[in-house]
Amino acid sequence: MDFKDYYVSLGVSPDADEKTIKKAYQKLAKKYHPDVNPGDKGAEEKFKEATEAYQAISDPEKRRKYDELRQDYQQWKARGGRGDYNWDRWQSNPSGGSGGYTYTMSPEDIADLFGGTGRTGGFSFGGEGYSDFFSTLFGGIGGAGRGFGGGGTVGRPRPGQDLEVEVQVTLEESYAGTTRVVKTGDKQIEAKIPKGVRTGSKVRLSGQGGAGISGGPAGNLYLIIIVSPHSSFVREGDNLRTEIPVDFYRAITGGEVSIRTFDGEVLLKVPPLSQSGKKFRLKGKGMPNLEKSTQHGDLFVEVTIKLPDNMSDPELSALRELAANRGIK
C-alpha cells in the first residue's frame, strides 16, 4: 500500500489552517470537476484525489490521526525504510467503534463549498472511489453504497452547476443577431445570440447547465461572447468608427462618396476643400443597443486623402502652375 501525502495533493503546507485548506480544495474541485470536464478520466481522478485529501485533513480528528501517521512514516523513511512499513497499528476499526470514521460531508456542505452553485451536482462515487490508504486509515466512507452526494440520505434540493462556454461571433453577426450550436457534455443546444452583443457579453440559457442536486433545478448555461476584430470598423460602445479614402480631386472640389454600412450603402457628401482627418457623423448607422435593439449608435467616418496613382504630364504641369501661383516652389 502506498502512502499518500494529502498536503501535497492539495498544494498546501502541513501547518495550513482550515480556511487555506478549504480554499485550495475549492480551486482544484472547480478545475477538475466532472461536470466541467465531461468524459475526461484524468480530470476525474484528480477530482477524486483532491476530494479524498480534503476529507482526510479538513476534519480535525482525521487530520490529527493522519499527521501522527505522516510523521511516523517520514521517520521510518529517514531511518532507511527497511522492510515493510507496519500499517496495522493505524488501521481503523471497521465496525465504527472508537477508531472508526464516517463520511462527514453532506450535500449541503459540498454545495456550500461552491457558493451554493451546485458545482458538485450530478457526480457520485462509492467506496471504490477512495484509496486503500484512506480506507485503511479511516474505515472508508462508513458504509457501502454511500456516494459523494452524502451519507445515504437525500439532502435538500440544490440548483445544478452554472456552466460557461465561449462563443466567437463576427461584428456582422453581432449587428444582425445569429445562432450557434453549443455542445455541453452529450447535449447539443441551438442558442440564439441577440443583436448588439459585444466581447464580454453573457447570454443566459436558463436550465441548460449542470443537473440539479437531490431533485433541484438544473443550472444555467452562459455563453461568453467574443466579437472578432473587423477589417473596416472599430467598435466603441454602440458607435462605429471607420476611414474612407477620398481622391485628391474630390477632396478639393467636393462631391459624393459611397460608404458601406451593415445596413447597406449610403452616400456621404464631402464638401469642397475637405482636409484629411475631417470627420463626419452618420446618425443611427452604428451598432444596435443590446437592451433596446431598435436603437442604434452612430457611425463616425474619417476622411483620408488618396493621391492619384498616375498623373499625366499636362496634369502635373497644371498643378505646378497652381503651386507657383500660391508661392509654393
For 304-316, the pLDDT digits (tens) are 998 888 888 888 8
Mean pLDDT over residues 55-74, rounded?
92
Whole domain around residue 95: which residue ranges? 6-138
* pLDDT given for residue 109 in this prediction: 54
Lowest mean pLDDT among 1-10, 76-85, 203-212: 76-85
**Crossing angle of helices 60-78 and 41-57, rounded to 10°:** 100
d(Cα 194, Cα 179) in Å, to the nearest integer?
8
Question: What is the distance in angstroms between the CA of the first residue and the CA of the last residue of the chain?
Answer: 94
Q: Which of 88-102, 172-186, 263-277 has the lowest mean pLDDT?
A: 88-102
Task: Quote the mean pLDDT of the chain.
Answer: 82
Q: Which helix (H) or strand (E) holds 256?
A: strand 255-261
Q: In this predicted structure, which of 36-50, 221-235, 284-298 has the lowest mean pLDDT?
A: 36-50
pLDDT value of position 282 = 95
287 secondary structure, DSSP code: P
265 vs 258, 260, 271, CA distance in Å? 6, 4, 19
CB 111 within 8 A of CB 211: no
Buried b / exposed e across 285-322, counting CB within 10 Å, b at 16+?
Answer: bbbbebeeeeebbbbbbebebeeeeeeeeeeeeeeeee
**Angle formed at CA 299 by CA 294 and CA 302, multiple of 5 degrees:** 180
Pick from 23-27, 166-170, 228-232, 251-255: least confident: 251-255
CATH code: domain of residue 28:
1.10.287.110
Any domain includes 195:
yes
> Do 127 and 16 reside in the same domain of the chain?
yes
In this prediction, residues 28-48 reach a mean pLDDT of: 87
Residue 153: inside a domain, yes or no?
Answer: no
Alpha carbons 132 and 229: distance in angstroms, whole number = 54
Q: Do 179 and 131 fall into the same domain?
A: no
- The answer to the question of residue 150 being in a domain is no
Domains contained in the chain, number: 3
Among 44-53, 227-236, 254-263, 320-329, the minimum mean pLDDT is found in 320-329
On the question of pLDDT at 243 being above 50, the answer is yes
Asked if residue 242 and residue 205 are part of one domain, the reply reads no
Say how many C-beta atoms besides its own lie within 10 A of residue 105's C-beta.
Answer: 20
Q: What pLDDT, in 10s, does the model give residues 128-161?
A: 467 888 888 887 544 333 334 333 334 567 788 8
Instruction: Read off the DSSP letter of residue 271.
Output: P
pLDDT at 1 over 60: yes
Whether residue 223 sits in one domain with residue 238: no
Report the alpha-carbon distance of residue 114 to residue 51 in Å, rounded: 13
Q: Can you give the length of the chain in residues?
A: 329
Range in 56-60, 155-159, 205-209 with the lowest mean pLDDT: 155-159
Final residue before a domain boundary, out of 91, 122, 138: 138
**Same structural domain for residues 15 and 122?**
yes
More confident residue, 212 or 52: 52
Instruction: Report the pLDDT value the prediction gives residue 110, as an integer from 0 to 100.
Output: 56
In this structure, the answer to whether residues 167 and 127 fall within a common structural domain is: no
Entry pTM? 0.52
Averaged pLDDT for residues 153-181: 86
Q: Which residue would you say has higher pLDDT here, 122 or 308?
A: 308
For residues 294-303, average pLDDT: 95
Task: Check residue 125 and give its pLDDT.
Answer: 46
Residue 284 to residue 304: CA distance in whole angstroms = 22
Residues 41 and 132 in one domain: yes
**Would you say 43 and 129 are in contact if contact means Cβ atoms under 8 Å apart?**
no
Query: Contact, 63 vs 137, CB < 8 A?
Result: no
Are the CB atoms for 152 and 127 separated by under 8 Å? no
Looking at the chain, the whole-number percentage of residues with pLDDT higher than 90 is: 47
Whole-number CA gyration radius for the chain: 34
Q: Are 215 and 251 found together in one domain?
A: no
CB atoms within 10 A of CB 248: 13
pLDDT of residue 112 exceeding 90, the answer is no
**What CATH code is carried by the domain that includes residue 201?**
2.60.260.20
> 50 is written with which cell numbers?
483532491
Within-domain flag for 37? yes
> Do the domain assignments include residue 40?
yes
Q: Let me know whether 258 and 301 are in one domain.
A: yes
